[in-house]
Amino acid sequence: MMVESLTRRVLAALRVVDGVTGQPILSPLSVSGAGTLWVRNRRGLYVLTGMTGLEAHQDGLMGPPATPAVGSMSVVVDVRDMGSTYLSRRQTIRLPRDPDPVHAGESGSVFRPIESRLYLSPSAPTSSAWAVIRVTVVREGTEQGLGGTLIRVLRASDGEVLARGISDGRGEALVAVPGIPVMTWEDAPGPVMGTEVDVQVEVVCDPGGGEAPDPDQLEANRATLPNRQTAMKLTSGRTVVRKLTVAIP
């Protein structure tokens, strides 16, 4: 009997997590990208086992080639929930990943999974402990819903981002904000305890981005994209419903 050993180098791994809790999503997902081959492993990671242009890296287990250089290529990955809990998103990853074990703790290392956050769909279940914002994002002066917009919730007092979400193709979005205390201690004169937290809700829109956006790119480019901020008050266990308009040039 002949024993054959087959070994291949893993190019990258994607850890898909819930955008509210940060916990891994265990339900079935679809991960795809042009010229790529993804396999889900037993740990729930989506492993990139093949990509056009990186064939030599796949087979070079003991000594990966020097070209193309680390991080010199990019691929757009589509991540989709096979159910209805999460909205689809896109994510751009840089390849090849750094194969040096010395750099295993760094963000670009092949030994470190890339995180991808999925955000809740408008029909997703929510926790009674969350503050919830349901918004409809429309183009200013019309009733046209804006899909694929990024919604950020920032605490008014210090600008810290408390939560994020994206809108579906109708412009509908559900943003869950965990960690809003039932009672908060106030430093200013007045009532010792309050139950509301002042926030700014920011909407960022890329008119050419499509319904399955890249939330990371929207956030990075928010200063140059159409956006709007609206003040709101949030309370744990309550839902705020608003229509938000964005001016599109």
Q: What's the mean per-residue pLDDT of the chain? A: 89
pLDDT of 109-129, one tens digit each? 989 999 999 999 999 999 999
- Rounded to whole angstroms, the Cα distance separating 80 from 78 reads 6
Residue 187 sits in a domain whose CATH number is 2.60.40.1120
Cα 91 off chain centre by: 8
The answer to whether residue 73 is domain-embedded is yes
Residues 160 and 218 in one domain: yes
Give 25's DSSP letter: P
Residues 109 and 165 in one domain: no
Single-letter amino acid, residue 188: A
Asked which of 118, 150, 175 is the last residue of a domain, the reply is 118
3-state secondary structure of 56: helix
Tell me if 57 sits within 8 A of 72, measured CB to CB: no
Single-letter amino acid, residue 189: P
Per-residue confidence (pLDDT) for residue 4, from 0 to 100? 45
The residue range of the domain holding 169 is 131-246
Q: In the structure encoding, which two tokens stand for residue 130, read together? A: 């969350």
- Rounded to whole angstroms, the Cα distance separating 88 from 97 reads 24
Per-residue confidence (pLDDT) for residue 8, from 0 to 100? 60
Q: Does the model's pTM come out above 0.75?
A: yes
The answer to whether residue 4 is domain-embedded is no
Q: How many domains does the structure of the chain reveal?
A: 2
Say yes or no to pLDDT of 45 above 90: yes
Per-residue confidence (pLDDT) for residue 183, from 0 to 100? 63
- Rounded to whole angstroms, the Cα distance separating 16 from 118 reads 7
Residues 114 and 167 in one domain: no
Nearest by Cα to 96 from 139, 121, 65, 118: 65
pLDDT band, very low/low/confident/very high, at 7 (cuts 50, 70, 90) = low
Per-residue confidence (pLDDT) for residue 224, from 0 to 100? 95
Residues 166 and 197 in one domain: yes
Judged on CB neighbours under 10 Å (0-12, 13-18, 19+), 75 is buried
Q: Residue 215 to residues 15, 91, 116: CA-CA distances in angstroms?
A: 16, 8, 10
Per-residue confidence (pLDDT) for residue 48, from 0 to 100? 95
Residues 151 and 93 in one domain: no
Per-residue confidence (pLDDT) for residue 209, from 0 to 100? 78
pLDDT of 152-183, one tens digit each? 999 999 999 999 999 999 999 999 999 888 76
Per-residue confidence (pLDDT) for residue 46, from 0 to 100? 97
Asked which of 118, 146, 181 is the last residue of a domain, the reply is 118
Q: What is the mean pLDDT of residues 178-194?
A: 63
Per-residue confidence (pLDDT) for residue 79, from 0 to 100? 98
The residues, any chain, with a CB within 8 Å of residue 209's CB and separated by 6 or more, are 148, 218
pLDDT of 202-238, one tens digit each? 999 998 877 789 999 999 999 999 999 999 999 999 9
Per-residue confidence (pLDDT) for residue 65, from 0 to 100? 76
Asked which of 118, 149, 173 is the last residue of a domain, the reply is 118
